[in-house]
Every structure is written in C-alpha cells, then in structure tokens.
Structure 1
Amino acid sequence: MTSSQPLALPGYAHVYSGKVRDLYAPLDDSGAPRADQLLLVASDRMSAYDFVLDTPIPDKGKVLTQLSLWWFERLTDLVPNHVVSTDVPAAVEGRAVLVRRLEMLPVECVARAYLTGGGLVEYRADGHVSGVALPEGLLDGSRLPEPVFTPSTKAPVGEHDQPMPYADVEAAVGASLADRVRGLTTAILARGNEIAAERGILIADTKVEFGLDGDDVVLADEVLTPDSSRFWPADLWEPGHAQPSYDKQYVRDWLTSPASGWDRSSGEAPPDLPADVVEQTRAKYVEAYERLTGRTFS
C-alpha cells in the first residue's frame, strides 16, 4: 500500500513520503529547494507489519511530533538534534518541524532494555539478539542486565527491516562511528527509562535514527514515541507473557486476531481498522504523551 498524496504547501517542494512522515524542502528566494533544511511532517498514517494502513489514527502526527520535541529537550546533553524551528505552515501546525538536512546513516539503531517482539523470536532460536549473547532463561518481558544495541537494516516501504550484526554496522559506517551510535542509542534508552520510570512507564525498546552534519552525529526523525518504542505500564509488568502497552502493539494485536479476518502470511493488505480500534489506539497514544510529559494534549 502506498502513502496518501502529499499536501501542497506554498513555499515548499515535496521531496519524499515514507510510511508515516512526509518531507518537504523550503524554497529559496529564487524558487529553488534549499539544500540545508527540510520540513518534516508527521502524518496520521499508521504502519504495521510493513504495510501502511488505509485507516489513519486522528492526532497521531501531533502526538509523535510534540512528544519528540519534549524528549529532544531532555537529551540535549547526550546528543544534538536536528530541530531548527517549530515555525511551520498553518496547515501542518503542531505536527511538523523545520530540521537540518543530514546525511542519514543507513542503519536502524535499536536498543532493548527488555526482551520481547522480534528480539524474543531471535533469542528463542539461539540465545542471541543481533549477534549479542543474552543470559539463559529469559522470558517474554524479561528485563535485560543492561540496554543492548540490536541494529537492523533500513528497509524500503513495504519491506521488512532485518537484524544486523554489529560487524555489518562497522562495515557500513566505520568502526568509530558504529561505536558512537551504539553508545548513543543505549544511552538514549537508559535516559528515557530514568525519566519514564518516575511516571509509571517502562520503555522496553526503542528505535532511533542518526545523521551526520559534517563530522557531528545528530539525532533525527523522532525519539521515544509510541511509534518508535514500546511503552509498558510499570505497575502491570509481569514477565512471561505479552505486556499491555501504550503503543501501536494494540493495532498489531488486533490485526493478528480472529476479529480482523486477516492472514498475515497471505501477502494481502490488512483490512480497515474498526472505529473502536482507532479510538482506543488514539487514546493510548494520548495517554502515553500525557503521562510522560505531565501536559494535557489538545
């Protein structure tokens, strides 16, 4: 399935549409796209199992954008971010930021503090996740001794990211830069959990993206959101089974339930989400935002 048509934004040229975000280049005085900045617009599109679903989640783009901005402020001592300004066109207000154009690294930087999802599948096969050996006897939801860097490939829309051994990251970006992003990724997750724990949330894992501005490593895209991370209510955490969550796992679970009638292995597109699933998903995203930030979402 493909992304919806991009907006026509006066003063901006559409550059690219991903699963969830649309990129536009500001036009200079001559009408040419600027080479140093991009307008990053978060849509209400929902992706799951490598499909972009036909059913949007209202306000999702605003939640992702506002929560990322909140986290960027709390991570500035660890790593600079790409934000230039939140002064954006009215048509995308609240869900867009003007950012530095970066040379993006060809790696999905993933860190895990708890074992679940694709990491659990790998672990059950051979006791490793992305080539990292883990202790024996771990269960679905087990806390790891320390956050582990488990990178993956950056697949095009419609294809699946694949686990990436650390040696492949070194081959792709060089040993020094690989070590830098590994340290940053695990530090971001550790910092996130320090802050989230005070608000009754566990961050099981997260995916971040980095780019280069000259020699500087810069945090880009989004950070510690319900799309890029698994958020669990701390008071309900119980290893041994899937955990309740404040993220898009709710949509994944419905899609793979008998209620959806969808066979994930069929290759066919998932069905539309029913109204109650849309409403509950929006509520989970908003609750994650409000619990973490202490702010009322409006």
Structure 2
Amino acid sequence: MSGFVEKPEAVQVPGLVHLHTGKVRDLYQNATGDLIMVASDRISAYDWVLPTEIPDKGRVLTQLSLWWFDLLSDLVPNHVLGTDLPEGAPADWAGRTLVCKSLSMLPVECVARGYLTGSGLAEYRESRTVCGLALPEGLVDGSELPAPIFTPATKAAVGDHDENVPYEEVARQVGPEIAAELRQTTLSVYGRARDVARERGIILADTKFEFGMDAETLVIADEVLTPDSSRFWPAGTWKPGRPQPSFDKQYVRDWLTSPASGWDRNAEQPPPALPSEVVERTRAKYVEAYEALTGLPWT
C-alpha cells in the first residue's frame, strides 16, 4: 500500500476541466485544449505523498523549471505557452501555474546519469551494469562515470516504482528513430545543465525528463532540472564512497526513518505529519537550490 495519505480534493475552476491529481501537480484543460499545470506544495517520500506541505515548494519548482526551459530552448522546444492565471483561478495559483501545449506524451522516463547512486548503484552492485550498460569495476556510491549515460525507465502509477529498462525496450515501445532522439536529446540537455550547475559549485548527479510529441517534433514537458527531478550535490563536499549531501528532501527522508517519527516504512501504514523544524529546513533547501542555480534571490 502506498500513494496519498489522503488524496486532496481538486479545486474546481469555471471553464477548466480537472484531468489528474499527481504527487505534486494538478492538471486541468481549458476550452481551447491547452493544459493548465499547477504545482502544489505537496511532498512525497518512500512512495507516499505526505500529509504535510512545504511552503513555496510548488512556486520554486515552477520558477526553476521556467529558468531552465529558457536556458535550454536552443536544444529542445518546451511545452510552455504562458504563465497567466486562468480567469477565476485561486490567487494562490500565482507563480505555480503553467499554461502548456497539449502533447502526445511518450511512456518513458528519460534519465541521464553522470554519477553513480540510487537505483543505478543498486544495479551496479549486482551486475556491474546500469540498464544493461556495462560500467568499469571499482565504482562506489557517488563515483563520477566515465561519461554520462542514458538510463530510461518506464513510467509508474502513483505509489508504484518506476522500473529501469534497457534502451532496446524504449526502442520497442516508441520506435528506433524516436528512441535515438530521446537518448541524444536527454544527454545533450544533461550536458548543458551539468556544465551550468558546475559553474555554480553544484554537481548534477542525475536527472529525469519527460517528453511528448507535437506532431513530429519532440518537446520537453513537465518539470525540468528541479530538486524533485534531479540530484544536486554541493561540489565542495563531494566525496565518493558515501551518500552525498543534497539540495532536496533529504531532511524529510531522514526524519521519517528516524526513531523520532515513530513510523515503520515496512508496515504499510501512512507516514505521520512532519514537525515544523523539518518543514522549515526542507523549504530552505529548495530555496537554496533555486538561488544557487539561478543566481537570483528568492522572493
């Protein structure tokens, strides 16, 4: 059992049709067929969407994605049409709402890895491969890879795990030409973002993208290069052989697995509410990531 502790009721807005409530985003459609994507302050951990929200999180994710979309526009088009609030939308949608082009989404999580950690590390320890790609001996948690690799995954429903798959499975699902374009674009975008982050003293260890088709054109969608979709590590504290400090929800994960939470993640019971200290520290990490990457003050 996993998913939402209590699935939120969708906000009803005249002229918009509610399509989906995800872990973080709510998706609507307007009368002209455009999608309205609203990033909430919800946070997930260990396959659960928690009962406590992180103030400003949705705004940080949205504004950081917009910053990256602009920076990457010469590499791949994106789905953003605008940021104006639909008429009648709640005031708190401001800064967290994107009006987007409706795409034919591809059923693949496009993951680029420049460093070994997470599910990639787990597979490497078993077989010295990640998604079927052979890697050198002697790598440890946090090792930089000889070159970035494309390690796709199948998309999972809320509460389920994405499953790493070999490139050949992507080609089977979407065809060899689109699969090749997905791999090339994913690695190009990762390379650009890795270099930008590195200039700012941040390691982009890995990240995932979602793509859709606009007729025959590949378009990047959803969020890009945020702390929810990426692992960002401070370069100054990087040390292979151990878990790295990160700009994300690690405070949440650490508290949930500590005795203080009283929660047993293996008992399939919903996690408890977060204490204010954990909420404040987690919010600070999201804001710190935004400011460090963009060079802009958070307002």
Instruction: Give your verdict on TM over 0.5.
Output: yes
* Amino acid in the other structure paired with 1:159: D
CA distance in 2, matches of 1:146, 1:257: 36
Q: Tell me the equivalent position of 1:10.
A: 14
Residues 222-237 of structure 1 aligned to structure 2 (within 5 Å): 222-237=223-238
Judging changes above 3 Å, is the alpha-carbon distance between structure 1 residues 249 and 190 closer, same or farther for their aligned structure 2 residues? Answer: farther
What 5-or-longer segments of structure 2 have no aligned partner? Answer: none
* Amino acid in the other structure paired with 1:61: G
Q: Secondary structure at the match of 1:217?
A: strand
CA distance in 1, matches of 2:54, 2:259: 22
Structure 2 residue 61 is matched with structure 1 residue 64: yes
- Shift of residue 262, structure 1, vs aligned partner: 2.2
Moved more, 96-105 or 269-278: 269-278
* Amino acid in the other structure paired with 2:215: G
Give the alignment partner of residue 74 of structure 2, picking from 70, 77, 89: 77
Q: CA RMSD in A?
A: 1.2
Q: Tell me the equivalent position of 1:151.
A: 152
Q: Tell me the equivalent position of 1:269.
A: 270
* Amino acid in the other structure paired with 1:18: G
Q: Secondary structure at the match of 1:266?
A: coil
Q: 1:115 touches 1:139 (CA, 8 Å); kept in 2?
A: yes
What CA deviation, in whole Å up to 9, does each residue of 1:263-284 have, x standing for no partner? 2222222222111111111000
Residues 133-282 of structure 1 aligned to structure 2 (within 5 Å): 133-282=134-283
Structure 2 residue 83 is matched with structure 1 residue 86: yes
Judging changes above 3 Å, is the alpha-carbon distance between structure 1 residues 241 and 179 closer, same or farther for their aligned structure 2 residues? Answer: same
CA distance in 1, matches of 2:55, 2:295: 21
Q: Tell me the equivalent position of 1:30.
A: none
Moved more, 173-182 or 89-98: 89-98
Give the alignment partner of residue 21 of structure 1, picking from 25, 48, 61: 25
Q: Tell me the equivalent position of 1:111.
A: 112
CA distance in 2, matches of 1:255, 1:179: 40
- Shift of residue 235, structure 1, vs aligned partner: 0.5
CA distance in 2, matches of 1:250, 1:106: 31
What CA deviation, in whole Å up to 9, does each residue of 1:30-74 have, x standing for no partner? xxxx33x10010000001121111111110000000000000011
Q: Secondary structure at the match of 2:195?
A: helix
CA distance in 1, matches of 2:158, 2:182: 24
What CA deviation, in whole Å up to 9, does each residue of 1:131-187 have, x standing for no partner? 111111001100111111111110101111111111111111011111111111111
Moved more, 249-258 or 224-233: 249-258
CA distance in 1, matches of 2:17, 2:54: 25
Q: Tell me the equivalent position of 1:291.
A: 292
* Amino acid in the other structure paired with 1:257: S
Deviation beyond 4 Å, 4+ runs, structure 1: none
CA distance in 2, matches of 1:87, 1:103: 23
CA distance in 1, matches of 2:119, 2:251: 16
- Shift of residue 123, structure 1, vs aligned partner: 0.7
Q: Tell me the equivalent position of 2:43.
A: 46
Aligned residue pairs total 291
Please, what TM-score do these two structures have when normalized by structure 1? Answer: 0.95
Q: 1:83 touches 1:99 (CA, 8 Å); kept in 2?
A: yes
Q: 1:3 touches 1:18 (CA, 8 Å); kept in 2?
A: no
Q: Secondary structure at the match of 2:258?
A: coil
- Identical positions, percent: 61
Q: Secondary structure at the match of 1:286?
A: helix
Judging changes above 3 Å, is the alpha-carbon distance between structure 1 residues 257 and 128 closer, same or farther for their aligned structure 2 residues? Answer: farther
- Shift of residue 121, structure 1, vs aligned partner: 0.8
Moved more, 46-55 or 228-237: 46-55
CA distance in 1, matches of 2:252, 2:73: 32
CA distance in 2, matches of 1:186, 1:224: 13
Q: Secondary structure at the match of 1:120?
A: helix
Moved more, 252-261 or 62-71: 252-261
Q: 1:20 touches 1:45 (CA, 8 Å); kept in 2?
A: yes
- Shift of residue 26, structure 1, vs aligned partner: 1.1
